[in-house]
Amino acid sequence: MTSKPSSSFAKPRRRANPKTEKEAGGILRVAAIQMASGPNVSANLAEAERLIQLAVDAGAKLVALPENFAIMGIKETDKVAVREHPGKGPIQKFLATQAKKHAIWLVGGSVPLECDDPDKVYNSSLVYDDKGKQVARYDKIHLFGLDLGNEHYREETTIKPGDTVVVLGSPFGRIGLSICYDLRFPELYRAMGDVDIILVPAAFTATTGKAHFETLIRARAIENLAYVIAPAQGGYHVSGRETHGDTMIVDPWGNVLDRLPRGSGVVVAGVNRAYQASLRKSLPALKHRSLDCAKCMRLQLTKS
């Protein structure tokens, strides 16, 4: 377990020795970044760069940014105004440059990318390898909607949903990609098959986050016997919105290895593949699955 920062701002940690990590049974350090992004893309990228450096200084080889790390606009339509063509634009260039510069795998929590509707974007999680090459893209499938008192959100007004489950191979194992509201739909993670790491960059509201964020993160880790890395937006934004934060890394047994409740900062933990394998051997729940979700759905339709 890594020590928690003594304030809401992460402090530089000693860079881990890669040789020592290899000798310690293949433990690799991963990091999740927490931000409170605003409407200025350049300012957000500068803050992301600072935090990525902190993660690298702590020895992280896989670094994940939160949802909407590059822009949390005053209006929901602000992200449409800065959307980028796939493979082009300052946000994507920043991610590729940072990954190559630090020789890390970098997850751009979500980036607004063009779609066929001029008034909407894909909310896309982009993964870059340690050479700065984009190796995966996941478009958020489940779009958040909330009508609760004074809080109203309808992501469908500015976001086009994706339709493809994305899993990629990496030096850290098989990684499943998801974004924020996806967390409430366990069938998405079942569709991924056996994954070693689940990524959940998020911007949970303060209301729903306080009630459900930790419970859902730990549930996804436990039921999939997977590490869950959940970088989040955490704080007050220029728009007046408050996000929950509580960025965390959870192990396959549901233990929270490191977390940051509020403010900008970094959490770091070790991914221990041998430990994960031993858990899956001792509790082979993934092999005990006997229901096929697609078959269950067909059965339900037949009965109705």
| Tokens found for residue 149 | 């008192």
CB of 241 closer than 8 Å to CB of 151: no
Q: Is the pLDDT of residue 304 over 80?
A: no
DSSP 8-class letter at 82:
T
The three-class DSSP label of residue 28 is strand
Q: What's the pLDDT score for residue 291?
A: 77
Q: Give the pLDDT mean for 48-56.
A: 98
Q: What's the pLDDT score for residue 18?
A: 37
Beta bridge partners, 26, equal none
Q: Is the pLDDT of residue 50 over 60?
A: yes
Q: What's the pLDDT score for residue 147?
A: 78
Q: What's the pLDDT score for residue 15?
A: 35
Q: Give the pLDDT mean for 7-14.
A: 37
Between CA 216 and CA 186 the distance in angstroms is 9
For the ranges 54-58, 122-126, 172-176, 284-288, the lowest mean pLDDT is seen at: 284-288
Phi, psi at 260, each rounded to 5°: -135, 110
Q: What's the pLDDT score for residue 226?
A: 98
pLDDT digits (tens, 9 = 90+) for 264-299: 999 999 999 999 999 999 888 888 888 776 566 565
Find tokens 């069938």 and name the residue: 187
pLDDT digits (tens, 9 = 90+) for 230-262: 999 999 999 988 999 999 999 999 999 999 999
Q: What's the pLDDT score for residue 45?
A: 98
Q: Is the pLDDT of residue 132 over 70?
A: yes
Between CA 275 and CA 282 the distance in angstroms is 11
Find tokens 């192990």 and name the residue: 251
Question: For helices 90-102 and 41-57, what crossing angle results, to 10°?
Answer: 10
Q: What's the pLDDT score for residue 153?
A: 75
CB of 49 closer than 8 Å to CB of 15: no
**Residues assigned a catalytic role:** 67, 140, 180
CB of 125 closer than 8 Å to CB of 109: yes
Phi, psi at 32, each rounded to 5°: -120, 135
